[in-house]
């Protein structure tokens, strides 16, 4: 399962992001998310491009090009949810 949404050139507040992302989080049973890059540093600007798309992926079918700092958290989550 994968869907991609093109980003707009807008800087949203954290409260706006919560409202905007709530339907996708509910649809895909997402329990939480992380802000990264300029957003996490409080430096986001509308003219910055950190990503050209945002996607949702099944935890057992993640893309190969995930940012290395995200891998440990994703592995920890996957391992806590996927028991064999």
Confidence class for position 83, pLDDT limits 50, 70, 90: low
Q: Can you say whether residue 31 is alpha, beta or left, with left for phi > 0 and alpha for psi between -120 and 50 degrees?
A: alpha
Q: Which of 13, 28, 18, 17 minimizes the C-alpha distance to 59?
A: 28
Q: Can you tell me the mean pLDDT for 31-37?
A: 77
Q: What is the C-alpha separation between 69 and 71, in angstroms, rounded?
A: 6
3-state secondary structure of 44: coil
Task: Give 43-68 pLDDT, tens digit per residue.
Answer: 777 666 666 666 777 877 888 878 78
């Amino acid at each position: 399962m994968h869907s991609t949404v093109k980003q707009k050139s807008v800087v949203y507040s954290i409260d706006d992001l919560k409202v905007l992302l709530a339907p996708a989080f509910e649809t895909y049973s997402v329990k939480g998310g992380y802000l990264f890059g300029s957003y996490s540093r409080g430096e986001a600007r509308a003219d910055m491009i950190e990503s050209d798309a945002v996607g949702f992926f099944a935890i057992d079918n993640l893309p190969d090009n995930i940012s290395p700092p995200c891998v440990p958290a994703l592995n920890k989550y996957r391992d806590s949810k996927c028991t064999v």
